[in-house]
Amino acid sequence: MVVVMAPEATDEQIAHVTDRVEGVGGQAFVSRGVVRTIIGLVGDIESFHGLNLRSMAGVADVHRISDPFKLVSRQHHAERSTVWVGPAGHQVPIGPDTFTFIAGPCAVETAQQTLEAAEMAKAAGATLLRGGAFKPRTSPYAFQGLGVRGLEILSDVRATTGLPIVTEVVDARDVAVVAEHADMLQIGTRNAANFGLLQAVGDAGKPVLLKRGMNATIEEWLMAAEYVAQRGNLDVVLCERGIRTFEPSTRNTLDISAVPVVQGISHLPIIVDPSHAGGRRDLVVPLSRAAIAVGADGVIVDIHPDPETALCDGPQAILGADLRALAQAVRQLPPILGRVDSSAHARTSVTAVSVGV
Ligand code: PEP
Ligand code: MN
């Protein structure tokens, strides 16, 4: 941390700052320039926060040097992490060496629809199944998801297809039941700053998929991840799903540059959701290609066997030729960039069902 003193700061004010810093066990290194004096602080940053340095007489500014997110930062954990998702003996990696393709319906509607979507996902090469049982809808009149019945359908479909499940939890009261069925707990954009929920999923013992808040800066998003990590759960995968901008042509604006920016400062894996970013079926394949090219660790995509009847997000669900084009991109492009399909690296045991193509 660096304290910048005002040009008119007196020697007494400078000494007062260094005394206070030393009083909490820190060290203060004073550098006197012609116009200004700066003081470099070394020690426990949290104890410096308690000093309220910015409010002291003669202090013009205070700058942090280290990231405010500690556990998820690359500053103390240079190597990028891989998060393993799925039951013991059959885990799928999400991380820097692989490219992980996650697909499934926006919402679980019926057992038949979920199974059909899962089979479409598997045939296209997906190694994880997505599907919402608890849906965070903007309108209270819209389909809210099947709740626990939806989780049961997902469990059955996992048993049939072998695909581990990613599903959203919207309320801290449901974390236990969702964690009982899911292999990965999703926190949606609307709950990305629900700190109690973040702590609750941090305690649940399952990997977490943390979507970016639609109006969150990258630092705010990483601070949200820090809430999960602080509970002892470092198995967090970040998901860029578009942010709110002034542009109405797309549902959100995919912040593609967030991928390399995050990879530079955090060791957590990061994937892209082209479906919720664009909100349009015709954009899913191009945005997925962009995600692969920019170095994302995977994509999560909405698919549906019959988008016209979908109870949620039908306009962005793909099938048929679009899904085939996506499958081809996911198979062919990541190897050019030195990545392998996540199914090639899945931790399988002899008895486990094999997944992927
Ligand atoms: C979803 O993935 O189903 C979803 C609701 O996404 P988001 O939170 O990004 O809107
Ligand atoms: Mn959706």
Q: Determine how β-strand 90-94 pairs with β-strand 98-104.
A: unpaired
Number of domains in the chain: 2
- Ligand 2 ion: residues within 5 Å (CB): 106, 313
Distance 200 CA to ligand 1 centre (A): 19
CA angle 74, 242, 301 (to 5 degrees): 95
Distance 328 CA to ligand 1 centre (A): 24
Ligand nearest to the CA of 186: 1
pLDDT tens per residue across span 72-100 = 999 989 999 999 999 988 899 999 999 99
Q: Determine how β-strand 2-5 pairs with β-strand 37-42.
A: antiparallel
Q: State the Cα–Cα distance between residues 316 and 254, nearest whole angstrom.
A: 14
Ligand nearest to the CA of 239: 1
Same domain, residue pair 207 and 311: yes
**Closest CA relative to residue 136, chosen from 211, 245, 39:** 211
Q: Is position 198 within any domain?
A: yes
Q: Are 39 and 65 in contact (CB under 8 A)?
A: no
Distance 278 CA to ligand 2 centre (A): 11
Same domain, residue pair 286 and 338: yes
Ligand nearest to the CA of 311: 2
φ, ψ of residue 69 in degrees (nearest 5) = -95, 115
Query: Closest ligand 1 atom, CA of 273?
Result: 9
Ligand nearest to the CA of 210: 1
Q: State the Cα–Cα distance between residues 181 and 109, nearest whole angstrom.
A: 17
% helix, strand, coil for the chain, step of 5? 40, 20, 40
Helices (H), the chain: 11-23, 45-49, 111-123, 148-161, 175-181, 195-202, 218-229, 258-265, 274-278, 281-294, 320-336, 342-345
What letter does residue 307 receive in the DSSP assignment? G
Nearest CA to ligand 1 atom 3: 106
Q: Is position 78 within any domain?
A: no
State the pLDDT at residue 344: 62
Output Rg (C-alpha) for the chain, integer angstroms: 23
Chunked mean pLDDT (size 10), the chain, 357 residues:
96 97 96 94 91 96 92 96 94 97 98 98 98 96 97 98 98 98 98 98 98 98 98 98 98 98 98 98 98 98 98 97 98 95 62 36
Q: Are 181 and 152 in contact (CB under 8 A)?
A: yes
Q: Which residues, 6+ apart, have CB-to-CB distance to 328 below 8 Å? A: none
**Total residue count of the chain as it appears in this document:** 357
Same domain, residue pair 221 and 335: yes
State the pLDDT at residue 355: 36
Pocket test for ligand 1, best of 273, 300, 313 (most atoms within 8 A of CB): 273
Q: Is position 355 within any domain?
A: no
Same domain, residue pair 110 and 19: no
**Ligand 1 environment, Cβ below 6 A:** 106, 132, 136, 168, 188-190, 211, 241, 273, 276
Q: State the Cα–Cα distance between residues 223 and 204, nearest whole angstrom.
A: 19
Same domain, residue pair 91 and 183: yes
CA 81 to each of CA 76, 145, 193: distance values in angstroms, whole numbers, following the listed order = 12, 33, 23
Q: Is position 174 within any domain?
A: yes
State the pLDDT at residue 335: 97
| Residue 300, amino acid | I
Nearest CA to ligand 1 atom 5: 188
Q: What is the CATH number of the domain that holds 8?
A: 3.30.70.1140
Q: Is position 153 within any domain?
A: yes
Q: Is position 27 within any domain?
A: yes
Q: What is the CATH number of the domain that holds 229?
A: 3.20.20.70
Distance 189 CA to ligand 1 centre (A): 6
State the pLDDT at residue 343: 73
Same domain, residue pair 248 and 322: yes
Query: Closest ligand 1 atom, CA of 136?
Result: 5
Q: State the Cα–Cα distance between residues 211 and 233, nearest whole angstrom.
A: 16
Nearest CA to ligand 1 atom 10: 189
Q: Is position 240 within any domain?
A: yes
Which contacts of 23-30 are long-range, i.e. CB under 8 A and separated by 24 or more positions? Answer: 24/48, 24/50, 24/51
Q: State the Cα–Cα distance between residues 4 and 37, nearest whole angstrom.
A: 6
Burial of 348: CB neighbours in 10 Å, binned 0-12, 13-18, 19+:
middle
Query: Closest ligand 1 atom, CA of 192?
Result: 8
Helix axes 281-294, 258-265, angle to 10 degrees: 40
State the pLDDT at residue 351: 36
